[in-house]
Structure 1
Amino acid sequence: MSGARQPETGNDTPRTLHSTSIAQKLEAEIVAGHYAAGEKLDEQSLTRRFGVSRTPIREALHELVARSLAERKPYKGVIVADVSRERVEQMFEAMAEIEALCGRFAAERMTVGERVALEQLHGAMAELAREGRQDAYDASNSEFHQLIFGATQNLDLTALANTLRLKLAPFRKFQLQSTPRMERSHAEHEEIVQALLDRDPKRAEKALRRHLMSAAREVLTRMT
């Protein structure tokens, strides 16, 4: 499988950017099923493919392990994890409950500045969704949810939410690959934003839970 992929050349970005972009490329291929569970991610093959030294490859593989898309096995190296439908369901279920809790806390604790920032970001994301700018929308989407996490004013809850969001990031990005889905996501955000601006904890909690379930449905549909 991996031998069929073509090497990439002509990239002179800094090493840190190299490792991040390599990790993003590999994670997209794993989520899309281009790698089989248990397949080895061979450092030497990847250095040839991407035309880089082993250091950025090792950093990229470390990112994949951190996101539970790969595992380190004794005497085998780094192999693709078995990311089953059931496992993805479990991660989304946990994330939905954590984000719902964050929404409940944020509705009560957000500062005026945080509410203004969230409303402005939400407005900017409307244009990104209409234009189908997936990468820009995905980056803003991460900022949107992190603003809510931070607004809980609880460092431990924020850290927990960010850790799980990091693991789900490849799947959440995967489900934003069409303009209609981005527009639905933005409409769901509208419900979340209004609940937060109205300081309504129960509405915010329900809106965030529904939002995560909507994302899960999109991902699981693509996995069938």
Structure 2
Amino acid sequence: MSTIPTKLQALISERIISGEFPPGTRLDERALAEEYKVSRTPIREALRQLAARGLTDIVPMRGVVVREIGVKELSEILHTDCELEALCARLAAESMTAMEKTELEYIHQRSKEFVQNGDIDGYLEANRELHRLILEGAHNSVLTKMVGDIRERLSPYRQYHPAEADRLVSSHASHDAIVRAIIDGEGEKAYLAMRAHNAHLGNAALRAIRQAREHGGASGNGAASAVMPRRRQAQGDPKPPAAKRGRPRSTPQA
């Protein structure tokens, strides 16, 4: 179960990514604690997590400020991740053991059950496990670490895209092409399938982020002007401010 700082980090990161907290915005511990109705301790830890993810910087005499990460830079990082993970899929097709392939097939079939039941949380957990198995199945520790580091840096951005009614269905279908190619030992097919899968997700995320930043920028709202719902929230359940009209919904990446 997620801790309070982790939940707060996720809520604040979405506001950074959407442009509600634009680059250069100072994230004040006291103001955020009052807004989310929690103490300053979990806010402080959440801000440390944001800095570790590269979304903020700690600036002398100013404190924690939102880092400038432009759409162009983000696009380049997404492209790098797309190519490297596709390479992992190719290597996995060529080097996975029979037992590893069996485990990959099992997780893929489990994810199908989650799709049929509309279990988003279950599917996302299976999705993370499936990608982990492919990375490890490449049997290249240097490449695996590179992809892991990039995915950690991208994780707040990759989860931000418009909700789609058939999101799980389309994601599982593209996973099917990847898994089939790996199990059959078809390295080039696995590479192309993973590349197409990640390219689609990356492009969807970029479109949503551009749209969100247009709305966020036009509103002129920064950290100081964000508004929380009036009813007080329990400390164990921090809530985000009311959503702005016109902002795209965000759902975790599948």
- Give the one of 103, 123, 127 matched to 1:117: 103
**What residue is the counterpart of 2:48 in the other structure?**
62
AA matched with 1:91: I
Displacement after TM superposition at 1:106 (Å): 0.9
**What residue is the counterpart of 2:204 in the other structure?**
218
2:9 counterpart of 1:18: no
Query: For 1:56 and 1:165, how far apart are their aligned partners in 2?
Result: 24
Q: Is this contact kept in 2: 1:146–1:162, CA < 8 A?
A: no
Distance 1:116 1:205, change over 3 A: same
Q: Is this contact kept in 2: 1:30–1:80, CA < 8 A?
A: yes
AA matched with 1:169: S
Displacement after TM superposition at 1:65 (Å): 1.7
2:54 counterpart of 1:74: no
Q: Is this contact kept in 2: 1:35–1:80, CA < 8 A?
A: yes
Q: Is this contact kept in 2: 1:47–1:54, CA < 8 A?
A: yes
2:76 counterpart of 1:90: yes
2:118 counterpart of 1:165: no
Query: For 1:122 and 1:39, how far apart are their aligned partners in 2?
Result: 42
Q: How many equivalent residue pairs?
A: 210
Higher share in helix: 1
Q: Which has the higher contact order (CA 8 A, sep 6+)?
A: 2
Q: TM-score, normalised by structure 2?
A: 0.75
Structure 1 segment 122-137 matched on structure 2, within 5 A: 122-137=108-123
Query: For 1:176 and 1:116, how far apart are their aligned partners in 2?
Result: 33
AA matched with 2:54: S
2:156 counterpart of 1:156: no
2:84 counterpart of 1:104: no
| 1:157-205 deviation per Cα after TM superposition (whole angstroms, max 9, x unaligned) | 2111111111111222223733323322211111100110011111111
Moved more, 38-47 or 120-129: 120-129
Q: TM-score, normalised by structure 1?
A: 0.84
AA matched with 1:183: V
Secondary structure, counterpart of 1:174 in structure 2:
coil
Displacement after TM superposition at 1:63 (Å): 1.7
Query: For 2:113 and 2:85, how far apart are their aligned partners in 1?
Result: 25
2:27 counterpart of 1:37: no
Q: Is this contact kept in 1: 2:13–2:55, CA < 8 A?
A: yes
Query: For 1:100 and 1:194, how far apart are their aligned partners in 2?
Result: 14
**What residue is the counterpart of 2:190 in the other structure?**
204
Q: Is this contact kept in 2: 1:138–1:173, CA < 8 A?
A: no
Mark the runs of 5 or more structure 2 residues left unpaired by the alignment: 212-254
**Identity, % of aligned positions:** 34
**What residue is the counterpart of 2:33 in the other structure?**
47
* RMSD between aligned residues: 2.1
